Amino acid sequence: EADIYQTPRYLVIGTGKKITLECSQTMGHDKMYWYQQDPGMELHLIHYSYGVNSTEKGDLSSESTVSRIRTEHFPLTLESARPSHTSQYLCASSEASGRASDTQYFGPGTRLTVL
Amino acid sequence: KNQVEQSPQSLIILEGKNCTLQCNYTVSPFSNLRWYKQDTGRGPVSLTIMTFSENTKSNGRYTATLDADTKQSSLHITASQLSDSASYICVVSDRGSTLGRLYFGRGTQLTVWP
């Protein structure tokens, strides 16, 4: 079992609220990622980070923002949640050896529902 | 366009039976292919990883094969158990970027009945 944690596991919130999804890992991995996954669909990369103070947007455009102030922590923030943000959000991390074969370890995910 | 297609979309089998899941990809340049298992409400967990030169890899009752020429992979599950019920996701990595970009299939939802 990978040492990567996400909180909350489930969140139901009203439109317009600001939310932060937490992700922490204790493996000392430099690379971290946020994915969005809808039921029956593939994972889409929305943000990634190579290390502290490094953040990049992924393939799927997202209104969320991320920060990487500490190696182990990679929170995702939505300033104003909308029903279209309803989805499962998965956080992952991997070593920064530069090899494409580095395995990504996933957290359990946060299921977000915006009413 | 880099894509990963999986079949079947869903599969129901009886406990103890074997099954094979398929994955076709068009990702280029190819680096490696992984099979992940995703239990309901959980994050994916890596089962196997194969590079271009490998054509088979086993992990317990899971055996993955890779044909890099036809760009096809399969995951064979032997003597299925109830705990095998999950989504199995094929993930292909390219070597065209330092990130090692991953391309995900939509998964095959496997249900094992007693």
A11-50 pLDDT tens trace = 999 999 999 999 999 999 999 999 999 988 899 999 999 9
Of B20, B29, B1, B111, which Cα lies nearest the Cα of B73? B20
Residue-wise pLDDT for B85-98, tens only, equals 999 999 998 876 55
What's the whole-number average pLDDT of chain A? 91
Is it the case that residue B82 has pLDDT exceeding 90? yes
Band of residue B34 on the pLDDT scale cut at 50, 70, 90: very high
CA distance A91 to chain B (A): 8
pLDDT greater than 60 at residue A1: no
Q: Is the Cβ–Cβ distance between A47 and A58 less than 8 Å? A: yes
A-chain residues within 8 Å CB-CB of B106?
40-42
Token code pair at residue B2? 């880099």
Percentage of chain B modeled with pLDDT above 90: 75
Tell me which of B102 and B108 has the higher pLDDT.
B108
User: CA torsion sign, A14 to A15 to A18 to A22?
Assistant: positive
Residue B84 φ then ψ, to 5°: -75, -10
Max distance between CA atoms of chain A, in angstroms, equals 42
Q: Is the peptide bond before A108 cis (omega within 30 degrees of 0)?
A: no
Q: What is the pLDDT of residue B67?
A: 94
- CA nearest B53: which of A101, A102, A104? A101
> Where does the pLDDT of residue B2 fall: very low under 50, low under 70, confident under 90, or very high at 90 and above?
confident
Q: Is the pLDDT of residue B100 over 70?
A: no
Residue B52: pLDDT band with limits 50, 70, 90: confident
Cα separation of B113 and A39, whole Å?
22
- Above 70 in pLDDT, residue A2? no
* A96 against B42, higher pLDDT: B42
Separation CA B21–CA B39 (nearest Å): 16
Give the residue from B24, B99, B101, B103 with the most A CB atoms within 10 Å of its CB, the best one to mutate. Answer: B99
Cα–Cα dist A44/B97, whole Å: 17
- State the residue for tokens 């990679």: A74
Contact assignment for B100 to A101 by CB distance below 8 Å: yes
Query: Which tokens hold the place of B58?
Result: 């086993």
